């Protein structure tokens, strides 16, 4: 199985089978196992579904080990969307918050059973649901970091709920600002920066007693920065609440790796390098190193080029060093296509080589 960009699927040359069901606006579009046709590809393009999981000759034998899978992620996103909408419409606040707690608890149970997997969550991205998908991903990353730092279950849940609700204040920000495809002007930026306080006030005003003070601080402080240049209070270093420092890392990581209306996503390994360069300025330097060391940089099924120009597909991970996976060779460094001949390079064994970057396209002619 591999995740592939729809623009690089050529059904006239190769066979592809859908490896995870594809949904659009909540309805099943293509079920698992179905063979892709030109017609299906055009339908996906029309619905702006850009990346899909497929099984094909290149990805034979490859399984993707995810911390949280596609279906569970989708379910969590749908729950969060309906709870945020209830809150927006002024419906029973405590009921909505209980549902949020349940969703976070379900995600935590799945994570605990997959705890040996590096940080690798399924790719689920749609422009319409950006806010909800972002909240779910941030909640998961927050809990992952809290597990890494040996927090107790109650604290892990509290930070998970804080992560899920960190941007809840955005329900009060006008869509014209949230959905603006260009850079925000100064007045709009000021408006946008109100969301941590608005979220905090929302919980406080509704006497959300099923939301802990930890979660509330995460909401309020997730845009504070290590160097004191964040908002709303310009707190610096250890003055920032510990759990909010975790959420700041989770928030930026997901913002970089997810497509937004005004910005294309960047690959995980580049996001990790970029965030590393910002440690000490933006983030708690200890926490950022811990987190980045556990992030899967090159997912199974990704097409990559090695430092000696060999090209191949990521076959499986080396869980100790997540930027040195096992690669199945597809094109030798001489340029010769060797196809499916089961030759592998384990980058933990051959340390003279490293992954130079991800490749687009198919590698086959």
Q: Which is nearer to Fe ion, 55 or 225 (CB)?
A: 225
Q: How far apart are CA 28 and CA 185, in angstroms?
A: 39
Q: What is the DSSP letter of 281?
A: T
Burial of 5 (0-12, 13-18, 19+ CB in 10 A): exposed
Would you say 133 or 167 has its CB closer to Fe ion?
A: 167
Of 72 and 167, which has the nearer Cβ to Fe ion?
Answer: 167
**Cα Rg of the chain (Å, integer):** 21
Q: How far is the CB of 219 from Fe ion (least distance, A)?
A: 9
Give CA–CA dist 294/249, Å, rounded. Answer: 13
Task: State which residue, 199 or 301, has the beta carbon closest to Fe ion.
Answer: 199
Residue nearest to Fe ion (CB): 167
Report, in Å, the least distance between residue 232 CB and Fe ion.
Answer: 11
Buried b (16+ CB within 10 A) or exposed e, 118-153: bbbbbbbbbeebbbbbbbbbbbbbbbbbbbbbebee
Closest separation between CB of residue 247 and Fe ion, Å? 9
Give the residue with the Cβ less far from Fe ion, 248 or 292: 248
Cβ at position 356, least distance to Fe ion in Å = 34
Q: How far is the CB of 285 from Fe ion (least distance, A)?
A: 22
Minimum distance of Fe ion from residue 138's CB (angstroms)? 9
Residues engaged in binding Fe ion (CB under 5 A):
167
Provide the minimum distance between the beta carbon of 156 and Fe ion in the complex, in angstroms, as a whole number: 21
Tokens linked to 286: 């200890």
Instruction: Considering the complex, state which of residue 255 and residue 358 has its C-beta at the smaller distance from Fe ion.
Output: 255
Q: Report residue 279 as tokens.
A: 């440690």
Q: What are phi and psi of 263, to 5 degrees?
A: -155, 135
- Which residue lies nearer to Fe ion by CB, 66 or 167? 167
Rounded to a whole number of angstroms, the minimum distance from the CB of residue 319 to Fe ion is 31
85, containing H or E segment: helix 70-88
Contact 262, 226 (CB under 8 A): no
Q: Closer to Fe ion at the Cβ: 252 or 287?
A: 252
């Amino acid at each position: 199985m591999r995740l592939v960009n729809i623009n690089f699927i050529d059904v006239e040359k190769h066979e592809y089978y859908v490896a995870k069901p594809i949904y659009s606006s909540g309805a099943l579009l293509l079920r698992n196992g179905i063979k892709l046709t030109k017609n299906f590809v055009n339908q996906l393009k029309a619905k702006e579904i850009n990346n899909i999981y497929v099984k094909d000759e290149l990805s034979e034998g490859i399984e993707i080990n995810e911390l949280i899978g596609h279906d569970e992620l989708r379910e969590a996103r749908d729950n969060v969307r309906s709870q945020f909408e209830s809150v927006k419409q002024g419906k029973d606040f405590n009921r909505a918050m209980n549902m949020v707690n349940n969703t976070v608890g379900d995600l935590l149970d799945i994570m605990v059973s997959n705890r040996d997997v590096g940080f690798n969550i399924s790719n689920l991205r749609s422009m319409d649901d950006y806010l909800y998908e972002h909240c779910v991903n941030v909640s998961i990353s927050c809990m992952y970091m809290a597990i890494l730092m040996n927090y107790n279950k109650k604290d892990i849940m509290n930070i998970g709920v804080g992560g899920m609700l960190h941007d809840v204040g955005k329900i009060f920000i006008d869509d014209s600002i949230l959905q603006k495809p260009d850079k925000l002007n100064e007045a709009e930026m000021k408006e946008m920066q109100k969301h941590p306080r608005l979220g905090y006030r929302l919980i406080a005003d509704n006497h959300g007693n099923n939301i802990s003070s930890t979660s509330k601080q995460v909401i309020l402080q997730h845009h504070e920065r290590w160097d004191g240049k964040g908002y709303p209070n310009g707190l610096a270093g250890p003055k920032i609440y510990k759990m909010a420092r975790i959420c700041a890392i989770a928030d930026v990581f997901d913002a970089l790796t997810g497509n937004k209306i005004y910005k294309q996503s960047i690959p995980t390994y580049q996001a990790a390098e970029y965030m590393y360069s910002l440690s000490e300025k933006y983030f708690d330097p200890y926490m950022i190193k811990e987190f980045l060391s556990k992030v899967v940089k090159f997912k199974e099924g990704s097409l990559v080029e090695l430092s000696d120009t060999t090209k191949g597909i990521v076959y499986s991970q080396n869980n100790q060093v997540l930027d040195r996976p096992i690669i199945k060779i597809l094109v030798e460094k001489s340029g010769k296509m060797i196809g499916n001949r089961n030759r592998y390079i384990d980058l933990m064994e051959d340390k003279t080589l490293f992954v130079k970057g991800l490749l687009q396209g198919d590698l086959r002619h």
